Structure 1
Amino acid sequence: MATLQFEEGVNRPQAKASHCRQQLLVNILDGMANVKPNATYAHAPISPVGYDKGFRRITYHRLANAVNGLGWWITAQIGRSASFDTLLYLGPNDIRQTAIIFACIKAGYKCLFTSHRLQLCDTQSLLRSTSCKAILTSDPLGFHIPSIKDGCPLPIYQVPPLNTLLVEDYPSYPYKKPFEQAKHDPFLVLHTSGTSSTPRPMVLKNDWLATYLQSLHAPSPPGFECLESRMRGCRVFVMLTPYHVHGVKSFQGANLDITVFGALTNETPIILPPAEAPVNVQTLIQGLGTIDADVCYVPPHFIEEIANNQKYVEIVTSRASSLVYAAGKVSEAHADIMSAKMEFWGRYGATEQGTVPSLRALGGWDCTMYNYIIPHPTAGWQFRPYSSSNDETIYEAFIVRDVENLKVQPVFTLFEELEEYPTHDLFLAHPRIPGAYKWCGRTDDTISLSTAANVNPMIMEHGLDQHQHIKGVLMIGNGRPRPALLVEPNDCAVSNQSFIDGIWESVEKLNRAYFVDHRILKSYIIVTNERERSSCTRRNCGHCMNHAQIDMLRMSM
C-alpha cells in the first residue's frame, strides 16, 4: 500500500496515490507525525549490544520529535546554513541516521554519509570535495575520527544521546518550502564506490528522490506485480550496515532505501539490530528469536552462512516469509536452498539510479527467478549485445530517456544532458523468459565480492605483470567472500609451490593497497597455464579454469 500523501507544508492527507504526485520526504514525515502520530516507524533494541532488554517501539511522533531536537541542536551549535553546507555524520546503527538527514535539511544543510570501509585518504578527499563544514558524531574518538581530522582539520560535534532525543520533547522546527521551490535542493550526499578512481560525491536532490520513489510506485503492467510491492507495509528486519557502499546489485543507499525511503512512503515498519552489535548472521538469528519479521533484508554473504546451517535455515524460514538480499552476488547453490523454502530474491541498482523497479509474473512465486530482474517498461531499460562466446551473448544495460516517463527515470535528474545512460553492468538473458536478465559482471572488470565490497584488481594485476617470473596474472572472485589470484609462470618446469614462494614477497607488497579482507592469501593463489587463463573472464571465472583447483578453492572459501 502507498502511504498517505501530504500537501507541501500542510499536514493533511491527500487522496492521490504516491506515484501521481511528487513529494518532499520531510513533509511526509511531519505529516505522518501529525496525522498518524502513533503509527510505528521502527522497532529498535533498547540495549545497544543485545536483545535482552527487549525492543522499543518508535512512533512517527517520536521520530519527528528527534528530528526537531537535532535540528535545533545543529542550529545552536553551528548556526543555520543559507547555502546547503555539508555536514558529515558518523554514528552507530540507530535511528539517528534517519533523524540527522531531516535535521540537516531543516537547518539548511545537507548530510554526507561515507562508507566505513573507505580508505582514509578517500574519506578526506570526499570532505574536501564537498567543502564539508563539520563532523557530527556520537563518539568523537571513534569511527577513525582522530585520523580523519589529522588530514582535514574540521570542528567535531557530539550529537545528543539517542535516549535524550527519544524521551525529551522539543518544539517543532518548521520547514515551509513547497516541492517546486525545493526540488533542486539537496536531500543527501552519497558517493561512488571508488573502485576505479577516487570516490566522487553524489548529491541526491529532492527531484531525484521524488522521481525515484515514483518509479517504485508506477502501476504494474497487466499480469505482473512490482517486487517492491511485496515489502510495502511489512515488518522488515534490516541487516545492512550503516554507510554501506554497495556493489553492482544495489546502490550505496540501500540501507537508507528501506529505513528512510521505504519506511516513510510505504508505512513499512523497520526492525533494527542492536546499534553497537556486530552486523552478522548470529545477530539476525538472535533477533528473530525475539521478534517476528515479514522480511529479512540482508547482504549477500549472509545467504551462504544461513544456507550452510540447517538450524539457521529453520529459524529464518519459520520467523519470516521473505528473504531479500542486496549489494552483491550470491552463489546459486546457496540461493537454491533458500529459494526452495521461502520467497527469496535480490535487488539490483546503483547510486545514480536507485533500485531498479523489477517485475514478477502473477500467479505463484517462481523460485528460480531470484537472480533475475525484469525492469518495469517505464524505466527505459535496454539490453544491448556486448560480446558473444560459446553460443552465449552478454548484454550491457542502458537506460534510454523517455520523454513520457521522465518522472520515473531518476538517473536523468542527475544527467540532464544525456539521452541515454550506460550502466556499464553486464547481463545474461533468461533462457526461457523474455525480458528477464541476470547480472554477470561489469564492463570495467570490477570484482564484486559477496560481502558487498567492490575490489579494483588493477593494482595487483599491473604490479605482478612486471614480475620476471610471471607470464600472466588475473585476479578473480566475483560473488565470493574474498578474491583469489590466477597466475601463469614463465617457467612451467618449476613446481607450483616454489613458484608461489618466489612471488609471495611481491604479492604481499601489493596487498598493502587493499583492505585486509580483500588481500590475496597465499592459499588463494592458483598456478595455471596460458590456455586456462586466456579462456577465463572475470564475469565467468568459474566456468573455465582448472576445475580441480577451483573446486578446492571454493571449498576453502
Structure 2
Amino acid sequence: MRANCIAFPISPRNSPIAVAHLISKTEVRHILVGRESAMEELTDAALEIIRDQYPSVEPPKTSPMPLFEELYLSQTETAITAQDVPYIFKGPDAIAMILHSSGSTAFPKTIYWTNHRFSQLALIPWFGERDLTDKVFSLHVMPFYHGMGVLQLSWTASCGLVVSAFEPKCPAPVPTADALFEAAKATDSNITFCVPSFIEAWSRNPEYVKWLTTRDGVLFGGGSLNKEAGDYMTSQGVSYMAHSHININEAEVGYDWEYFHFPDLVKPKMVPYGNNTFEFVMVSRLLNEQSNTFCEPSVLNTQVAGIGAYATSDLMVPHPTKPGYWRIHGRTDDQIMQNTGEKVGAYICRILETNPGPLENILNQDPHVLSSVMFGRGRFQAGVLIDPKPAFRFDPVDQVKLADFRNKIWPTIERMDAYAPQHSRLFKEVHCSFYIMITVAKPSKLFMYTAKNTARRQAVINDYEEEINALYDIVEESTQSSIPPPSHWDIVSAIEFVRAVVVKVLGHTVNLYLIKVDIVADYLDQPAGNMDQEFLAACFARLRTSRYAQNIAELYSSPGLPEAMQGMVAKYIGQYPTRPEGPLQPRPLEDTVLVTETTGSLGCYLLARLVEDTNVTKAEVCAQRRGLNPNIADSKKAVLLKGDLTKDNWDLPPTVYTEMHRSVMHIIHNEGSLSELDTICIVAWRVDFKLALASFESNVKGVRNLIDFSLKSCLLDSPRLIFTSSIGVFQ
C-alpha cells in the first residue's frame, strides 16, 4: 500500500481453482509467494488453471516473499528508501486493499476497501467502551488475509495499540491453542485475539484460565463460542470481547456474555426471519441523513426504504430483557430446512429448521473430531459428516471401524442431542436409521477449509452428494412404511402391529420378551400415522412387546388431553391439611427462606440477593456458579440440601425437615429440570414442551407437597409460597 500498490492478501486455504477465480476477477499483476512448498504448489496450480480456463487473462508474474532478514537485517547498500518510492494519494474513493469472503457456500467473493472505508474502520475503537491505547494486542494467530487481522494495521495508528506476534520464521510457527497462549503470556499481552475453538481448549486447563483472569480480555471472532465453555470462563472471571468488523463489545461482560449491542456508528435494520430470529441488515445511512460519516458498508446488495444496505445473512436473537442487545444465532444460508412429514392441520406439511452452527461447535470439541458438517436440507432427518483428526482417520467403507468411531464420539453426540431440538437429534438406537446418518469423510476426499479454519459447508456437501444420497437411500429401504398401522387401536391389533415391526427389523422370528434397548420415552405421544423408526426404536425400550402394545392401545383409547389434565388437577386439589393443634410459634426476628432450584440464572441470583440481605439469617438452597461471587455457596447463611419434593419429608433427615417447619418463613419455588437431580436440593417445575402430561406429574405433586408443608408449619404465620416459571408453562 505504501508503494502505491493495491494489496490483495489471499488465503492459502483456498483451492487452486478458487485462487484462479480471485486472480481473474481482480486482474492481479504480481504475486508474492511464500517460501513454503505448499504455497508454491498452490500458486503453480492456480496459474495453470488460469492458462487453461481463462485465456483472456494474462497470468501474473511471481516473486518469492521477502524474508525478514532480507528486509531488515541485510548488510547490502542497495536498500530502497522512502524517497525512492514517493507516496501518491489517489483520493478517498481509490481502492486501497482487496479482501475476499471465506467462501463457505461458493467461490470466495472479492471485497474492496477504499481509502475512505479504511479510515472509517480505523475509528471503530473510538466508539467502543474500552481504551485501547498502549494495550498489547496478541495477533499471533490472526491471518492478514482476513479482515480481523487487517483491521489492526489501522488501529495501531488510530488508537495507539501495540501488536504482539510470533517471531518471523520460515516456515511460520504452527498456530495452535497452546502456542498462542505461551506467546501471549511471554509478550505480556493485555488482550488475546483468537478463534472460539482456542478458548474452548483453554477452558480445560486451570492454569490457562487463571492467567486469563488477570488480562483485560479475550477477543474472539469468526464463529460462535460454545456456551458451556463461555459460561465457565465467565464464572471464573475471564472477560470476553466479542468482535466483528464493526464492533468491540462493552467494557463489562457478565453472565449474558453472548449478547452485544451495536455501536453508534452502525445503522442496523433487524429484519424478521422467523422463530424470533432477525437478519442483521447494515444500512448505509438513516432517512434523515445525507450519508453516514463513520460507517458505510463496503458492499451493497439490498435496499431499505430506498437506501442502499448490506444484508449480512447473519441471524440474531434479541436479549429477552435488555432492548438493543443481540446474540448471534447463525447464518441464513446455513439453516437446514427439514421436512419431517408431520401434518399440521389437514394439509400443511410441517417444515422444521435446524441451526447447525452450535451443534457442530459441540461436536468439534470431541478429541477425535477435526470438523463436522450437518446436512439434511429438505429431508425428514438431519445427518452429520465428520472429518476425523489425522490420527483417527480411516476408510468409512470399513463398517467395523466406522461403528467403533461412532461409539467413540457418542458421548459428544449425546451432549449435542441434549442441546438440539427434537427434530435435529442423531439417535444411536440399534437398527435405527439415524445411527446411519453419522458418517465419516474419506481419506481420499478430505474437507475443504476456509481462511477461518472452518469447513466450506456447501463445497463439502457438494463433494459428498453421492454418499449423502446413498445414506438416505439406506434409510428409505429400512423404513416401516410397508407395515400400515391398524385402522382401529385395541390390545389385539396393537400386539400384532408391534410384533410385525420387530420381526421385520430383525429379519427373523425372535423371542420378543428378551429384547431390550435404550429407552427414548419422549415419543410415547406421537400419532399412529407418524410411527417411523424413531418412534419404533422407543417402543421396544425395556418392555415386552405385549406390555408396550397395551400402552399403545391405552394411548389411543384413553380420554382426550383436556380430560386427562382435569383429572390430574382433581387428584392434587382438595383435602388440604389443617393447621397444627396446640400453641403456634411466633414469627422469628430474622427470615429463613427456602429456595428450590438454584442452578438456573434466576435461582442463582435469588440466592445471591438472599445471602446479601441482612434480614435473612438462613437460605436453604443448592447453588451453581453463574458468574457471581463464588463464595456465595460457602456463606454460613446458605444451607445446601439435596431432596425430592415428591417424597415424604422431601427425603430429608427427620431432624432437618422438622427444623425447616419451625424456621422457614418464605418459599420461592423456582423453575428447574428433572435432569439435574444430582446437583440440586429440590427439583421444581420442568419446562419442556415435547413431553407427555404424565412426565409432569412429579412436578405437580411437588407443588402440592410445598403447599402442605406451608399449611402444616408450626409458625403462627405460615410460610408464603411463591411460584416462578416461564410463561410458556401455560401453553
Q: Select the residue among 140, 155, 178 that pairs with 1:239.
A: 140
Matches within 5 A, 1:40-79: none
Q: Select the residue among 23, 30, 37 that pairs with 1:127.
A: 23
Q: Given the superposition, is the C-alpha separation of residues 177 and 257 from structure 1 closer, same or farther in structure 2, using an over 3 Å criterion?
A: same
User: Aligned Cα RMSD in Å?
Assistant: 4.6
Question: Shift of residue 142 of structure 1?
Answer: 3.4
Q: Select the residue among 261, 268, 271 that pairs with 2:154.
A: 261
Please name the residue that 2:189 is paired with.
293
- Give CA-to-partner distance per residue, 1:535-554, whole Å, 9 cap, x none: xxxxxxxx99999xxxxxxx
In structure 2, C-alpha distance between the alignment counterparts of 1:197 and 1:386, rounded to whole Å: 22
Matches within 5 A, 1:101-120: 102-103=1-2, 106=3, 108-120=4-16
1:435 is aligned to 2:435: no
Matches within 5 A, 1:74-473: 102-103=1-2, 106=3, 108-139=4-35, 141-143=37-39, 144-152=42-50, 153-168=59-74, 170-172=80-82, 173-178=84-89, 181-218=90-127, 226-227=128-129, 229-243=130-144, 252-258=146-152, 260-275=153-168, 276-318=172-214, 320-349=215-244, 355-358=245-248, 360=250, 365-388=252-275, 393-400=276-283, 401-402=285-286, 403=289, 406-411=292-297, 418-445=307-334, 448=357, 461=376, 472-473=381-382
Matches within 5 A, 1:532-547: none
Question: Shift of residue 330 of structure 1?
Answer: 0.6
Larger Rg: 2
Structure 1 runs not aligned, ≥5 long: 1-101, 219-225, 245-251, 350-354, 535-542, 548-557
Question: Shift of residue 408 of structure 1?
Answer: 1.4
- Give CA-to-partner distance per residue, 1:46-81, whole Å, 9 cap, x none: xxxxxxxxxxxxxxxxxxxxxxxxxxxxxxxxxxxx
Question: Shift of residue 295 of structure 1?
Answer: 0.9
The size of the alignment, in residue pairs, is: 388
What secondary structure, in the 3-state scheme, does the structure 1 residue paired with 2:30 have?
A: strand
The percentage of aligned residue pairs carrying the same residue is: 14
What secondary structure, in the 3-state scheme, does the structure 2 residue paired with 1:110 have?
A: coil
Q: Given the superposition, is the C-alpha separation of residues 412 and 164 from structure 1 closer, same or farther in structure 2, using an over 3 Å criterion?
A: closer
Q: Given the superposition, is the C-alpha separation of residues 148 and 311 from structure 1 closer, same or farther in structure 2, using an over 3 Å criterion?
A: same
Matches within 5 A, 1:461-500: 461=376, 472-475=381-384, 495-496=430-431
In structure 2, C-alpha distance between the alignment counterparts of 1:142 and 1:509, rounded to whole Å: 19
Structure 2 runs not aligned, ≥5 long: 51-58, 336-355, 366-370, 387-408, 476-519, 524-529, 535-686, 692-731
Amino acid at match of 2:294: V
- Give CA-to-partner distance per residue, 1:94-119, whole Å, 9 cap, x none: xxxxxxxx34xx2x321211222222
What secondary structure, in the 3-state scheme, does the structure 2 residue paired with 1:340 have?
A: helix
- Alignment check: 8 A CA contact 2:137 2:162 kept: yes
- Alignment check: 8 A CA contact 1:378 1:405 kept: no
In structure 2, C-alpha distance between the alignment counterparts of 1:471 and 1:379, rounded to whole Å: 40
- Alignment check: 8 A CA contact 1:134 1:156 kept: yes
In structure 2, C-alpha distance between the alignment counterparts of 1:340 and 1:357, rounded to whole Å: 24
In structure 2, C-alpha distance between the alignment counterparts of 1:493 and 1:299, rounded to whole Å: 31
Question: Shift of residue 369 of structure 1?
Answer: 4.0
- Give CA-to-partner distance per residue, 1:178-230, whole Å, 9 cap, x none: 5xx42122111111222222111112111211222235424xxxxxxx24x34
Question: Shift of residue 339 of structure 1?
Answer: 2.2
- Give CA-to-partner distance per residue, 1:438-488, whole Å, 9 cap, x none: 111112226556589xx9969x547xx7xxxx85435599xxx99999999
Q: Given the superposition, is the C-alpha separation of residues 476 and 339 from structure 1 closer, same or farther in structure 2, using an over 3 Å criterion?
A: farther
In structure 2, C-alpha distance between the alignment counterparts of 1:413 and 1:285, rounded to whole Å: 35
Please name the residue that 1:554 is paired with.
none
Amino acid at match of 1:237: S
- Alignment check: 8 A CA contact 1:300 1:329 kept: yes
Q: Given the superposition, is the C-alpha separation of residues 286 and 409 from structure 1 closer, same or farther in structure 2, using an over 3 Å criterion?
A: closer
- Alignment check: 8 A CA contact 1:285 1:315 kept: no
In structure 1, C-alpha distance between the alignment counterparts of 2:112 and 2:294, rounded to whole Å: 18
- Alignment check: 8 A CA contact 2:111 2:298 kept: no
Q: Given the superposition, is the C-alpha separation of residues 312 and 150 from structure 1 closer, same or farther in structure 2, using an over 3 Å criterion?
A: same
The structure, 1 or 2, with the larger RCO (C-alpha pairs under 8 Å, 6+ apart) is 1
Amino acid at match of 2:326: Y
Q: Given the superposition, is the C-alpha separation of residues 513 and 138 from structure 1 closer, same or farther in structure 2, using an over 3 Å criterion?
A: closer
Question: Shift of residue 301 of structure 1?
Answer: 0.4
Question: Shift of residue 367 of structure 1?
Answer: 1.8
